[in-house]
Structure formats: C-alpha cells, structure tokens
Amino acid sequence: MRRYTYLWLMQLVTGVFIAVLLGIHMVVQHLEDILLFFGVNLNDPTSWQSMIERSRQAVWAGIYIALLVVVLSHALNGLRNVILELTPSPRAERVITGTIMALGIVVFLWASYVPIALLYS
C-alpha cells in the first residue's frame, strides 16, 4: 500500500507545480488583453513570430518540458485512479498500469522533441 501513498503524494506535489507552470502558460497565452491593461504588451502570443521568438529561449523550452513532465504524470496517474475505481483484478491492474506508463513515455518523447528541435533551429 505504501506505493499508493507515494502516488497520492506525487499527485499533490505535481498539482502544485502545474498550478504554477500552467498559470504562467495561461496568463501569457490567453490574458494578453488584461496584461495590456497593466502595461505589458506581448504582441499576439499565438502568432508565428512571437512563438518562434519564445522557442529560441532556453527558459521557455525548459518551462514547456517541465510542464509536460508534471502534466503527464498528474493526468495519467489521475486516469489510472479513475480506472482502478472499477476494481479490476490484479492482473488487469498490471496491464492498465503498464499501458498507461507506455502511453506516458511515448507522449513525452513525441512532445518534448519539438521544443528541443526548435531551440537549435
């Protein structure tokens, strides 16, 4: 049972990290009109030019990859918790855990490739 406690603790800690990192992401990407009111001009953060400027900075690549790690661990652990509430057999539980971990690794490799590739482009 101890590992379930660690998973619960991981859910709490990654939740706090997501609140900070996704908070930055949301405010920068979506609250540009409110930021403009406070005198910060981001020049349309979803435009190609602004996106390329961000992707050339190592800080943003770091933020994106860190966000990817915590979001994937939080979301897939949450998905596992939802599925395990259906009380599957121990064998089915191992299959579910293995599938979800494989999915997480595949999504991480696929999605972390782009910020790294754009950093050196």
Partner 1 sequence: MKPTKPRPNYLGPVGWVWAGNYKLERYLYILHRITGLGILLFLLFHLTATTFFRIQGEAVWNSAMGFLSNPLFKIGEFLVVVAFVFHMVNGFRLILQELGFLMSKPVPPIYPYSDSLRRKRRWTMAFIGIIIVLCLVFFYDFIVGGW
d(Cα 4, Cα 23) in Å, to the nearest integer? 28
8-state DSSP, 89: -
CB of 94 to partner 1, least distance (A): 22
Binding residues (CB under 8 A) for partner 1: these are 12, 15-16, 18-19, 22-23, 26, 30-34, 46, 48, 51, 71, 75-76, 78-79, 82, 107, 110-111, 113-114, 117-118
d(Cα 113, Cα 120) in Å, to the nearest integer? 11
d(Cα 68, Cα 103) in Å, to the nearest integer? 13
71 contacts 22 by C-beta, under 8 angstroms? yes
Q: Which of 70, 93, 79 is CA-nearest to residue 10?
A: 70
Indicate the residue type of 22. Answer: L
Q: Which is nearer to partner 1, 58 or 82 (CB)?
A: 82
CB of 91 to partner 1, least distance (A): 22
CB of 43 to partner 1, least distance (A): 14
CB of 31 to partner 1, least distance (A): 5
Q: Which is nearer to partner 1, 93 or 112 (CB)?
A: 112
Q: Which is nearer to partner 1, 67 or 93 (CB)?
A: 67
